[in-house]
């Protein structure tokens, strides 16, 4: 055997880490996803002046993204199940980069609205397709880490979005140039995703035999234990199971608090605690960065606990109860403390444990669904959960306008965390659904 053949043989037997590189790539894509979402909010003062937008029209444009994003969730999940996630992720990333760049050429509010609708359509598939990859590439004891890496980009991108987009606008001197650069950069990431991601381990040119065996042996054991599903069974049968409703409501609870903070946190810190623009940017980044850390750490803890032999119900119910309880206590305390440092510290804790719960939420579809339906169930969960993105900014605004205070808004977050505890306790994480 020559040296080249021996080297190839050694590499094939070595335990590679291609599956984790794929999920770090997904972390990057979701972070870019949220940075692109945030771009319009950052640039809105300049855009509203240029296009002479009224506050009502600004709100219409800002919320329009969720109209199409929401309704793309279930179709995206079915597409990922049918056509496989690699092409769905690559096309979606290229698509939302195109619409992000196209916004640079808008001449009025209506054309800008259309680009936001296009952005919602294109960004819709990333989570369902990522959930499908979780089921295809990771073992049962790795999926919370995979789900946490996938979803933690939402917190990281939210924290980085304002800094990066504002920096581009400052550097380039134009919101249009910043949008164009962001769009082109996103499209390049779409090409990167197509080049590196594969639908199955054996299709990847850089994976070793040891990693293939590790994945395939675990999935074979899982397949043997999965319920047999008759062909032609509609995915709508998922809605007949309590665990699916509990999963969707739990995800909705996370999103109600997350989107509520994402949209109203800067205004709250500015008006109630007197933060200036510079302090606001730094505080927002720190708070959301703690959310990123919490989600990644939760994935590590849950999977290692599962590997020790603990049952899924014990692990995830405990994790969710701890996380939601800490969110409730933190948000309750925020309503009463006066010190800006204490407020930021408590909000860091709230985001840490909120995203802790988020990682567990995203691991749930692959635990409940067979691999053939993992994309569809992920799409269902994200469809229901993203209704919060439309509802909560308006609801919080109504509370603040009616009461003249943020107190009841904070108590609303406390109540939502309490509902999430009940959802986790009523969800059976160990039972595969025969759909």
pLDDT tier at 9, thresholds 50, 70, 90: low
Residues 6+ apart with CB under 8 A from 196: 21, 22, 25
The pLDDT assigned to 13 comes to 62
Residues 6+ apart with CB under 8 A from 87: 194
- CA-CA-CA-CA torsion sign (329, 331, 333, 336): negative
CA 125-128-134 angle, to 5 degrees, is 130
**What secondary structure letter does DSSP report for 371?**
G
Looking at the chain, the whole-number percentage of residues with pLDDT higher than 70 is: 95
Structure tokens at 249: 């409501």
d(CA 129, CA 88): 7
d(CA 409, CA 151): 25
Residue 395 contacts residue 415 (beta carbons within 8 Å): no
Q: What share of the chain is helix, strand, coil (3-state, %, to 5)?
A: 85, 0, 15
d(CA 70, CA 389): 9
Which phi-psi region, left, alpha or beta, contains residue 309 (left: φ > 0; alpha: ψ -120 to 50)?
left
Which phi-psi region, left, alpha or beta, contains residue 92 (left: φ > 0; alpha: ψ -120 to 50)?
alpha
Select from 357, 184, 178, 124 the least CA-distant residue to 257.
Answer: 357
Exposed (0-12), middle (13-18) or buried (19+): which is 423, by Cβ within 10 Å?
A: buried
- Tell me what the mean pLDDT of segment 88-99 comes to: 96
Query: Would the pLDDT of 231 be above 70?
Result: no
Reported as a single tens digit per residue, the pLDDT across 390-405 is: 888 888 888 888 888 9
Rounded mean pLDDT of the chain? 89
Query: Would the pLDDT of 5 be above 80?
Result: no
**What secondary structure letter does DSSP report for 130?**
H
Reported as a single tens digit per residue, the pLDDT across 176-187 is: 999 999 999 999
Task: Please state the separation of Cα 66 from the chain's center in Å.
Answer: 14
pTM summary value: 0.83
Phi, psi dihedral angles at 200 (to 5 degrees): -145, 150
Residue 356 contacts residue 350 (beta carbons within 8 Å): no
> Could you write out the DSSP letters of every residue in 225-290?
HSPP--TT--GGGGGG-HHHHHHHHHHHHHHHHHHHHHHHHHHHHHHHH---HHHHHHHHHHHHHH
Lowest mean pLDDT among 58-72, 117-131, 176-190: 58-72
d(CA 4, CA 15): 19
Domains parsed from the chain with CATH numbers: 17-222+237-425 (1.20.1250.20)
Other C-beta atoms closer than 10 Å to the C-beta of 121 total 21
d(CA 92, CA 182): 15
Select from 243, 66, 70, 85 the least CA-distant residue to 150.
Answer: 85
Query: Would the pLDDT of 219 be above 60?
Result: yes
Other C-beta atoms closer than 10 Å to the C-beta of 54 total 10
The pLDDT assigned to 47 comes to 87
Looking at the chain, the whole-number percentage of residues with pLDDT higher than 90 is: 61
Structure tokens at 415: 């109540």
The pLDDT assigned to 222 comes to 85
Identify the three-state secondary structure at position 332: helix
Query: Would the pLDDT of 277 be above 70?
Result: no
Query: Would the pLDDT of 10 be above 80?
Result: no
């Amino acid at each position: 055997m020559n040296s080249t053949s021996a080297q190839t043989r050694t590499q094939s037997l070595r335990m590679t880490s291609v599956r984790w590189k794929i999920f770090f790539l997904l972390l990057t894509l979701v972070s870019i996803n949220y940075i692109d979402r945030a771009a319009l909010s950052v640039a809105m003062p300049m855009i509203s002046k240029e296009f002479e937008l009224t506050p009502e029209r600004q709100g219409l444009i800002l919320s329009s993204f969720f109209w199409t994003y929401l309704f793309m969730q279930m179709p995206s999940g079915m597409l990922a199940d049918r056509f496989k996630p690699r092409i769905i992720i690559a096309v979606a990333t290229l698509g939302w980069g195109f619409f992000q760049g196209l916004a640079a050429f808008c001449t009025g509010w209506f054309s800008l609205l259309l680009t936001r609708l296009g952005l919602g359509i294109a960004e819709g598939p990333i989570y369902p397709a990522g959930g499908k990859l979780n089921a295809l590439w990771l073992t049962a004891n790795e999926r919370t880490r995979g789900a946490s890496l996938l979803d933690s980009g939402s917190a990281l991108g939210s924290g980085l979005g304002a800094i990066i987009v504002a920096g581009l606008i400052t550097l380039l001197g134009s919101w249009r140039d910043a949008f164009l650069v962001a769009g082109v950069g996103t499209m390049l990431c779409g090409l990167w995703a197509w080049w590196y991601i594969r639908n199955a381990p054996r299709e990847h040119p850089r994976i070793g035999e040891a990693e293939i065996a590790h994945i395939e042996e675990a999935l074979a054991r899982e397949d043997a234990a999965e319920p047999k599903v008759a062909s032609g069974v509609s995915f709508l049968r998922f809605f007949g199971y309590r665990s699916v409703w509990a999963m969707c409501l739990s995800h909705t609870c996370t999103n109600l608090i997350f989107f509520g903070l994402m949209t109203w946190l800067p205004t709250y810190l500015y008006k109630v605690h007197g933060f200036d623009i510079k302090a606001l940017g730094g505080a927002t980044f720190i708070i959301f960065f703690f959310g990123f850390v919490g989600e990644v750490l939760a994935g590590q803890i849950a999977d290692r606990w599962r590997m020790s032999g603990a049952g899924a119900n014990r692990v995830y119910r405990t994790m969710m109860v701890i996380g939601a309880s800490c969110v409730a206590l933190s948000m309750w305390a925020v309503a009463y403390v006066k010190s800006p440092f204490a407020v930021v510290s408590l909000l860091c804790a709230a985001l840490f444990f909120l995203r802790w719960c988020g990682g567990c939420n995203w691991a749930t579809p692959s635990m409940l669904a067979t691999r053939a339906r993992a994309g569809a169930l992920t799409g269902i969960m994200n469809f229901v959960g993203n209704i919060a993105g439309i509802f909560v900014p308006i609801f919080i605004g109504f509370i603040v306008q009616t009461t003249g205070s943020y107190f009841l808004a904070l108590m609303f977050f406390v109540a939502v965390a309490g509902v999430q505890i009940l959802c986790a306790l009523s969800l059976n994480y160990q039972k595969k659904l025969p759909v």
